[in-house]
Every structure is written in C-alpha cells, then in structure tokens.
Structure 1
C-alpha cells in the first residue's frame, strides 16, 4: 500500500525496540477501519483507479464495490474535427481518444454503443468504395477497442456517413451535426438498478428465405411487458435486394408499447459469429433492447414538411410534450444523409432545436441511408400516435427520427 510507514516502539520495562507497521500500532490509520472515510476518499477516483484500489484489502474492495454500484449515470466519449489526434493514423484517431478518456471515466462500462464516421477509417468520399485494406483496418481497430473495455461489456459498433455528437464534459454542450469531418462517439452505460440492456443481431440466412419471427420471441423482443425501448440498425439493408429483410424484422418487432428508433448504416464494426464474415459484408439487423419499468421514452418523426427552423421547432414540441425527465437521459437523432446543412441551407438546425427544448440532455446520432421510427411515447401509457398499422410504417427516407430515453433517477 502506497504511503505505508514503519516506526519503532519501545515496550515499558524493556530496552529493546520493536519495529511496528503503523497499521499494527495503537491508533493506527483510520483508512484501515472506517468504511465511511474510505468511501469518501475513494469517491474522487475514476473507475480504473477504483479497481486498482480494490486490490489493497478486503475493506477497500467492499467499499469499491459499493461505490461502483452507486454510479448509475450514463457517460459518453466524443470527438470531431480538430480534437482528433494529428499524430495518429486515420484508422486509430477515435481509438486514441477513447483510450485516453476511459482512464478518466467514473462508471464501469457494461454496454457501449459506438459509431464512427466512414472517413475516420477509409479516407475516401463517403459514397465511394472502401478497399479491402481499409476494411481490415476497420476491423482491427474494433478489436483493439474491445480490449480496452471490460471482458463482459456488451459492445455494438457502427460506421455511418455522418455523425451527430455532443462534446464531452456536459450535457449542456451544444450538439454538432458533423457531415464533412472525422468524428466518432461512444455511449457508455453502466449496470443500472431496474434496467436491463441486451444486444441482439439477426442476419439474413439466404436471399429468398423469409425472416423467422420466432427469433424475436427468443431474444425477448416480442410479447415482453418489460421491453420499453429498442435501438435498431439495418446493416447493408439499404440496397434494393436486401431491403425486404429489414422490413420483415420491423413489421414483426412493431408494437405500440415500445419505442423503436434507429437507421440504416454502412456496416457494423465487428465480426458476426453467425456468418463468419466481417460485419462490413453482413446483411442483417442489429441493436440494443432496453427493459425495465422505470424506463421512459419518446420519439418523433420529422417528415419532409419540416423544412426550416420554425417547422422543426413545431415538430420538436411533440417530443417535449412527452415530459420525459432530463436527468440521466440521452437523446438520439437519426437523419437522412441528404438532409443537414444542404437541406436547410443552414448548419445544425435539427440539433439546435433539440438543445433548445432539452438543454441538459446529450444528443448523439448519425446521418444514414434510411430512418427507423415514428411518433410514439411510452410514459404512463400515453401514446401520441399509434404506429403499428400498415398505414404508419417504421421505415422512412428523407426524414429525421428524434428520440429520448430516460433510465431513472441516479439519486
């Protein structure tokens, strides 16, 4: 133990001095016995330092466990533009930021959703080809990121044409729509009381074979009263010959008591055990399911009639009307790659509107090849608009899906 000192103690009636460690001497250090003092001091340490401190003794180990269990707030790591290290290869810039920030984080990661802009890895135009060397580099980076996280941590990685990130430090920071710069973010969630998070993945077995809906039941995504919120992403499903698979999954998943939000991405940043091929070549659906009665959520669809700041604000009022608490909440924005500054003739319109209505909630998301979601609220059984009919599809284009999820109070 660092700082442990020894001294001499002379027993009465004897000339011989006995060397005692301070923890053995009368009036020994309070850090060896008073849990309240230990926990107070340990509360200032980030998680990695806490785990090191847990090796000191049984008392410290028990105190560390209690502190980590009490830390139930979400966290995120993000970078874009000039914050990317210039001395790092393009495929490892975001990885370097994550590596540095994980040393400072105060929660123990249990689930991580991370998204990287395609240019971060490829260096090509976002609509251009990605060669085999770059694909290998992408998967290598994903594996290195996995090694930085706890062994049992669930990890879902995606690559998209553009990103929406909130700078680190505070949920009050202005979110930024990043369309032409390198960027990446990682949403980090600890274990939370009353909340269960589960990663899922479904891959197409063949071109003609229909999706087996029983797989949703097995994964707890169908007829489950505890299911509240689903982030769902189509991988390589934006192509005409593969779009039917995503539609089949969404049709089976669609239930009016569940918030469903997401979009279509270029590829996943992991290897699929089922297909034995890199995620960049897989056709399928991946995502995160959130279970728990304390979870509240809402989503809205900004359709093509939202064409300026006024109409975007009007749509955002619907999301605000859900009265979702801002504490320990995160917002998601999934927008069409054709929107953004070129569409509104002004930068950051949708992200700024979200910040106006939710001033302390971090916003994360991406620009993709299609959007998933609709107007829906799950809070005290209040539903703004049902969307489980044929007329109200979950799959869209040239739109934006905004969503917010609340995990419960951290106090």
Structure 2
C-alpha cells in the first residue's frame, strides 16, 4: 500500500474577504489612491510581479511607483519548513519565508526535501490562516504550487538524505534539526539564462541532446549536478560536452549523489522515466564574449575532523579569493557521514552574513575549486601573460568534504 503519511501546517496566505464598494458619480479610483500618500506604495508592495507589471501600464504616475518597487524585486526568495520544538510527540511543522516570497521576479526554483520525513505522494493538511477548523488536503506538489511556488515558473524537487539550509530567520538551536522542505527561488538575472534538464552521460547522442537545451552561442558559467549514484568516468563525458577543458577552472561546479529528482511545470517531459544513469543538471548560461554583472564560484573543503576554527579559516580563504555583488545566494553539499557538520552552517553565516544558503547532505559530493581570476594587465608589449591551460579536468567527485557554490550578481560591493 502506498504510504500516504503527511503532516498539518498553517497556510501562509491571507484570504481577503469580498467587499462590495458602490461607486459614486465622477469617482476616480486611481486618483483616490494617489491622493493619500503613501497608500499607493503600500498597495503596490503587496502585488506579485505580474500584477505589478500590469499596474505599470495603467498611467504615468502608477508607472513611477511600480518601477520603484520592481527595482527591489530582483532578489532571491526562500522558504523553510521544519519541526517545532515542543514536548509532545506530535511536532507541528512551521513555515518561515522571506518577505518577498511570491512577490519577486522569479525565474526558477530549487526545492530540497528529506525523503525520510516526507514523500511526494503524502497529503498535507492545510489550515486556514484565520480559522484552524477550515481545512484542505493537498498532495506535496499541489501544496507547493498553491502556497509557495510562484505561478508559471520551472522548478525542481531534489530528494536528499537531509536538508540543512541556513536562512536568517532560523535560530541557531534549530539548525541541527534539519528541515522537511526548503526552497530557493532565483530572480531573472540580467544577461543570464538558466536551464534544467536530465541527461544520460553514456548516450552516444549526448551532444545533440544537449543542443536542445544550450545554444551554440552560450557558455556555462555555473553547473549544478545531481545523480543517484557515483558516475565515475561517465561524468567526464558530460563535462567534456558542457565545459571546454581549458576553461574548467572558470566554471563553478557543485552537486552530489542524492536519492532522486523531479521537475515541474513547463519542463516536465510527459511520462518520462529516468534511469539510474541519468544526471540532473542546472546550468547558468551567458552569451559568449558578453560582459555581465554575474559571477559564480565554487570551493571544496576537505576533511571530516576540522575544528570550528579550521573550518572558519577555510571559509575566510574562500571569501578572500572571490568577489561579491549586491545580490548573492549559496548552495552547500555536505557529506552525510560527517558527524558535527551543523556548525558549518553557523560559521558560513558568520563569514557570509545575509546570504541565503540552500544546503543538503549527500552520499557523495561533486565539485571543484573555481575562484576569482581577474584578467591580467598587459606586460608592456601588448600581449597578456595568459596562464597555461591544463588540458584535463580537476577531480570532481569527493568524500568527507563540503562543497560550496556561490553565485552573485548586480553592482560590485564596496569593501
């Protein structure tokens, strides 16, 4: 029999009651909103991105307000669902989320879930925000799309041994518990295109297949890889198609061996069954020879017996070798066999404050070092002193390690 076990949770949506307003003669609603400052700003701040774009087209005064708010929407948003710490055996689930959840200009979503604590065919009992007795029952995907995922965006669900993210609202004492569900939604980054797809690195037509997802004029700036088993040499078949060997050190790579992945909304192939050889890829792409306000970095921290001071030293080493822009998010993949890995989350927040960290444990870590390499100045003869390329890829699969991937976009931060 299919396991239908789920949990109860309170809805995050405020249901506004229907109110009938009788219009008066010569009453102009738009002028009425504008007459009481800052009423229009307050109302617009609650609108989602699509509704705000509609208001943008109404009239010039509305456009100015909408434009001001739209400029604030190009930040990532997130949510986390975890067990409440109570003495009873039945522990209620708590949802915390960023203020701009469902309100920003979302491009794609990545959601992690702990397969030991929830199944996709589980039912979630959602309590009305105002009345606990007003209930509705939804499957996990239904709950996500109705409550947490912005409409009409591509998103994936990644099943892993443990979800261990770190967001600002989470208290230090809650970190060790892990989450049931964590999600990160990325905005549309200027001049950067994202894509999600499954592929089999062993297929002979791999290059032709990837051409349907990546244009010949695009180059990979960041690659996240997730697979259900160690791919050994076959993973390099995929890397050879996606990343030129002499350009490997300039592409951020991270990921891990997990339980499984699924994609939703516009990118889900009809009734396609993925084999254990399939790898799930999330790529950040830009047009070749195009300058962008976007950077991606990755870093491998080895060892399961590092002290807090040693791990913090590694994080500081990473920070010194990258640049940060006004918007940043990070991904963390940690070996599931590490015993005291929870402190790594707190240390990351200490070194990189205010940067959302979406994290998971894995049964094998994927990644290599990609750090900031500014273009070297000319040596006086008009020729740049280019570093010799290594015609082979760095080691990409690890154990007893922590992989960090950080993407950052917008104007450079001044130190």
Q: Which residue of 1 aligns with 2:165?
A: 165
Name the CA distance, whole Å, in 2 between partners of 1:297 and 1:165: 19
Q: Which residue of 1 aligns with 2:382?
A: none
Deviation, structure 1 residue 301: 0.7
- Residues 31/137 of structure 1: CA separation in 2 closer, same or farther (3 Å cut): closer
Of 100, 112, 116, the residue aligned with 2:113 is 116
> Which range moves more in the overlay, 360-369 or 370-379?
370-379
Name the CA distance, whole Å, in 1 between partners of 2:109 and 2:394: 31
- Residues 314/74 of structure 1: CA separation in 2 closer, same or farther (3 Å cut): same
Q: Which residue of 1 aligns with 2:184?
A: 187
- Residues 41/202 of structure 1: CA separation in 2 closer, same or farther (3 Å cut): closer
Q: Which residue of 1 aligns with 2:225?
A: 232
Of 327, 346, 355, the residue aligned with 1:352 is 346
Deviation, structure 1 residue 55: 7.9
Q: How does 1:137-216 map to 2 (within 5 A)?
A: 140-142=139-141, 144-146=143-145, 149-167=149-167, 169=169, 178=176, 181-192=178-189, 194-204=190-200, 209-210=203-204, 212-216=206-210
Deviation, structure 1 residue 287: 2.7
Q: Which residue of 2 aligns with 1:265?
A: 258
Say which one has the larger Rg: 1
Residue 310 of structure 2 aligns to a residue in which SS? helix
Deviation, structure 1 residue 315: 1.8
Residue 293 of structure 2 aligns to a residue in which SS? coil
Q: Which residue of 1 aligns with 2:407?
A: 405
- Residues 120/269 of structure 1: CA separation in 2 closer, same or farther (3 Å cut): farther
TM-score normalized by the length of structure 2: 0.69
Q: Which residue of 2 aligns with 1:77?
A: 79
Name the CA distance, whole Å, in 1 between partners of 2:193 and 2:200: 24
Name the CA distance, whole Å, in 2 between partners of 1:53 and 1:248: 43
Query: Which has the larger share of strand?
Result: 2
Q: How does 1:308-387 map to 2 (within 5 A)?
A: 308-325=307-324, 327-341=326-340, 348-378=342-372, 380-381=374-375
Deviation, structure 1 residue 31: 2.9
Of 223, 239, 249, the residue aligned with 2:238 is 249
Deviation, structure 1 residue 336: 1.0
Deviation, structure 1 residue 56: 12
> Which range moves more in the overlay, 143-152 or 159-168?
143-152
Deviation, structure 1 residue 359: 1.8
- Residues 143/277 of structure 1: CA separation in 2 closer, same or farther (3 Å cut): farther
Report if the CA contact (8 A) 1:81-1:183 is conserved.
Answer: yes
Q: How does 1:387-402 map to 2 (within 5 A)?
A: 390=392, 392-402=394-404
Residue 51 of structure 2 aligns to a residue in which SS? helix
Deviation, structure 1 residue 351: 1.7
Residue 313 of structure 2 aligns to a residue in which SS? helix
Report if the CA contact (8 A) 1:42-1:64 is conserved.
Answer: no
TM-score normalized by the length of structure 1: 0.69
Residue 296 of structure 1 aligns to a residue in which SS? strand
Report if the CA contact (8 A) 1:340-1:349 is conserved.
Answer: no
> Which range moves more in the overlay, 270-279 or 319-328?
270-279
Residue 269 of structure 1 aligns to a residue in which SS? strand
Name the CA distance, whole Å, in 2 between partners of 1:158 and 1:288: 12
Name the CA distance, whole Å, in 2 between partners of 1:6 and 1:146: 36
Deviation, structure 1 residue 316: 1.4
Report if the CA contact (8 A) 2:196-2:281 is conserved.
Answer: yes
Q: Which residue of 1 aligns with 2:271?
A: 276
Residue 22 of structure 1 aligns to a residue in which SS? coil
Report if the CA contact (8 A) 1:232-1:288 is conserved.
Answer: yes
Report if the CA contact (8 A) 1:54-1:64 is conserved.
Answer: no
Q: 1:5-62, CA deviations, whole angstroms, 9 ceiling, x for partnerless residues?
A: 655xxxxxxxxxxxx24229xxx9443799x9675233432528x8399589934985
Q: 1:154-190, CA deviations, whole angstroms, 9 ceiling, x for partnerless residues?
A: 11110100122224549xx759755x65522110122
Name the CA distance, whole Å, in 2 between partners of 1:203 and 1:283: 8
Q: Aligned residues, how many?
A: 358
Residue 307 of structure 1 aligns to a residue in which SS? coil
Which runs of 5 or more residues in structure 1 are unaligned? Answer: 8-19, 123-133, 342-346
Report if the CA contact (8 A) 1:231-1:288 is conserved.
Answer: yes
Report if the CA contact (8 A) 1:174-1:355 is conserved.
Answer: no
Deviation, structure 1 residue 291: 3.3
Name the CA distance, whole Å, in 2 between partners of 1:388 and 1:39: 57
Which runs of 5 or more residues in structure 2 are unaligned? Answer: 1-17, 125-137, 287-291, 377-386
> Which range moves more in the overlay, 389-398 or 269-278?
269-278
Deviation, structure 1 residue 401: 0.6
